[in-house]
A and B are shown apart, each in its own frame.
Chain A
Amino acid sequence: MEEKSHIPIITGSEALIRSLINEGVDTIFGYPGGAAIPIFDALYDHKNEIKHILVRHEQGAVHAAEGYARASKKVGVVLVTSGPGATNTITGITDAMMDSIPLVVITGQVASSLLGTDAFQEADVIGITQPITKWAYQVRRAEDIAWAVSRAFYIAANGRPGPVVLDIAKDAQNNKTPYTYQKTTFIRSYQPTPDIDEESIKKAAELINQAKKPFALVGHGVILGNAENELKEFLEKGDIPFASTVLGLSAIPSSHPLNQGMLGMHGNIGPNMKTNECDVLIAIGMRFDDRVTGNPQTYAKQAKIIHFDIDPAEIDKNIKVDVKVIGDVKETLPQVARLLKENSHKDWIEEFKPYKEQEYERVIKDELHPESGEIKMGEVINKVSEATGNDAICVTDVGQNQMMGARYFKFSRPRSLVTSGGLGTMGFGLPAGIGAKYGAPDRTVCVFVGDGGFQMTIQELGTIMEYGVDVKIILLNNNYLGMVRQWQELFYDERYSETHMKNPDFVKIAEAYGIKGRKVTQREELDDAISEMLNHKGPYLLEVKVETKGMVYPMIPAGGNITNILLGEKNGKGS
């Protein structure tokens, strides 16, 4: 077929790459393989427009894309081959689904004539990924590629974001097709942003205006909706103290006077206590996860609850609410704020203070400023945070390092915490850090990992080496799977089943990858090592030998409530 008018006839692979460029994609994380070779071949001609980061394992590609999306506000893009390439992305895709991260994951697939024959490297990728994606679609014809990409980006980024899988058969990659690109602006069966019910706006404002003790819970939805300023104005006008879920952290600076810290299992005492004392609880872009609520039967029973969310399916899912404000918080928050009285809740806000003092005395002081003994995890995180002027992106893995990072890293601007919230994926940190650096190249990226999680995706040191990705890796090494060890100590009679780990020489490993490394075992060396790390141009591994028996406190045991809170040893275990 000859070119008709101005419509080019190109291969499906070329159409795919041009479609990505049309969507503004400039970075892809991927790994080639048999059923994706035509796509990688097309990519070869577009090196100047699209940077491809060759990871060392497909799981790393997805986590990197997640880190990229979180740091940059853009859709993260992953390109892998069929079969094992695709199945290796499952953990990352599930992680993105749980945390509403916009991703487009492109998987090669065997030729359409071979589908269903158990062909070499064939896997039922759509069947596997449907429950863990916002949308999963198999493309079998070259002429459908542009349409599918356009739809994929629209779905991934709009409404409550999430991962999308495009599974592209090899013949669709190779066959020729006329190419035109049209951005999707509407899908009949999917309304990403529900219409706002004015009545709900009025009801919410009325309740808040009448409240004597209002308390707001800030979730990831605020950051995903880029509604940080709208939130700030809303909270300030109503003089409403607030706390964040783990993923809501950094929406508003840590130092903001209304900021009471973090909610949930390892959150601050004050906000958890006040959740059960406030008269109006205002949940904003959060989903009452069990790690936030503990036992839902005893959660905020005294309060009228208002729930702001873009996803109607979240309303009344975990906690029954009195007023639902369905819609994009970027629109609903200002609409409610307009109806709010300029208020002052000085006495109420004052009530958080004794808990802050109690927590400082009982937990924080010793964690951040110990005078003797082994190095503490919180101490390291606090020092790194301060050394960056509290302005870096904090990426964490999962476990104690994550909870310590969430508790003690301080944030001065949005999108500064990149962590695996809902799925709790060990191995997330290192690749997510790589992605975060590509997503926000001007910012310092500090990756906190434990010795367990580090070794789950340690091969990504290869990626860091190859591209010289400037991430500062802080390895908090206690030679234990620390969070599980903590549970074993507290709830399993100190039976440390399979949580001790014999570890390699991590600094030597870093060196083998050409990455500068240093191991610190003494408190006196810590400041110097941190400043060396931050002043070093390029990637750096700082291994800190931390207290073996470190514990994350406070802790509200799973399924418990604030009355079950554990603060550590001073009153004996469990009080």
Chain B
Amino acid sequence: MQEKTLYTITIFSENKVGVLNQIATIFTRRQLNIETLSVSPSAIKGIHKFTITTFAESEEVMKKLVNQIDKRVDILKAYYNTNDDLVHQEIALYKIETEKLLATTQVEDLVRKHNALILDINEHSTVIQKTGHYEDTQALFDELSESIGVLQFVRSGRIAITKSRVERLSDMLEKLEEKEEKIKNNHS
């Protein structure tokens, strides 16, 4: 099978019902699997930011995908990047038995080694948090499950920020407002 590259797609949309559905069907039509997905309000009120990762065989596929997404009426802007262009992060939570935490120093060693945090301890279970790339959160999972076992594990979708200077959303919105002003004046 051809080597696939992991791409990160960033989408800014109006905060409307059903936008995720519109985006998802565009992936489905092109037989692309969504690996991770993270959605949250952006720094600008009323605008949502989607960060989606997916594997694709070529950049061509990504260009077409992003064009199709960008074309939707409720989407403000969509673009894609590879890992090299991005600072990206995921967060993972691990639940282990408190009894095992107390029994040896194994967990303490792992927490130190992986630069993880302990978020919560009660008499039954302890929750550890680790942020990092996929490989980092996976490495801690592997070691924990081999040594003392993991009761529950969850990992978030990727969030990412581009390293290079891309047009900022606020600048884009400013330009759009000027355009709107011009159009309104022409009509009145």
Contact = CB atoms under 8 A, between A and B. Distances in A.
B187 interface: yes
Contact of A189 (B21, B76, B187): B76
Interface string A394-410: 00000000000000000
Contact of A135 (B63, B70, B73, B187): B73
B47 to A, nearest CB: 9
A490 interface: no
B70 A313 contact: yes
A311 B71 contact: yes
Nearest to B14: A189
- Range of interface residues on chain A? 20 to 34
B73 A155 contact: yes
Interface in A304-358: 311-313, 315-317
Contacts of B25: 130-131
A312 B29 CA distance: 19
Interface in A128-174: 130-131, 134-136, 138, 155
A127 B184 contact: no
Contacts of B180: 186, 188
Contacts of B76: 188-189
Interface string B16-32: 01100110010001000
Interface of A: 126-127, 130-131, 134-136, 138, 155, 185-191, 311-313, 315-317
Contacts of A138: 17
A187 B72 CA distance: 12
A188 B173 contact: yes
B29 A188 contact: no
B52 interface: no
A191 B21 CA distance: 21
B64 to A, nearest CB: 6
Nearest to A154: B73
A185 B13 contact: no
B176 interface: yes
Chain B interface main SS type: helix
Interface of B: 13-14, 17-18, 21-22, 25, 29, 60, 63-64, 67-68, 70-71, 73-76, 173, 176, 179-180, 183-184, 187
A315 B64 CA distance: 9
B67 A185 contact: no
B181 to A, nearest CB: 9
Contacts of B29: 131
B79 to A, nearest CB: 13
Nearest to A195: B179
Contacts of B75: 189
Contacts of A130: 18, 21-22, 25
Contact of B18 (A126, A189, A191, A311): A126
B63 A188 contact: no
Contacts of A191: 176, 179
Contacts of B64: 313, 316-317
A311 B67 CA distance: 9
B80 to A, nearest CB: 14
B187 to A, nearest CB: 5
28 contacts: A126-B18, A127-B18, A127-B21, A130-B18, A130-B25, A131-B29, A134-B73, A135-B73, A155-B73, A185-B183, A185-B184, A186-B180, A186-B183, A187-B73, A188-B14, A188-B76, A188-B176, A189-B73, A190-B73, A311-B71, A312-B70, A313-B64, A313-B68, A313-B71, A316-B63, A316-B64, A317-B64, A317-B67
A189 B70 CA distance: 9
Given A134-B73, A188-B76, 4 more contacts: A130-B18, A185-B183, A188-B176, A189-B13
A272 B183 CA distance: 43
Contacts of B17: 138
A130 B17 CA distance: 12
A355 B22 CA distance: 47
B74 A189 contact: yes
Contacts of B73: 134-135, 155, 187, 189-190
Contacts of A313: 64, 67-68, 70-71
A186 B60 CA distance: 31
B83 to A, nearest CB: 24
Nearest to B63: A316
Contacts of B60: 316
A485 B71 CA distance: 39
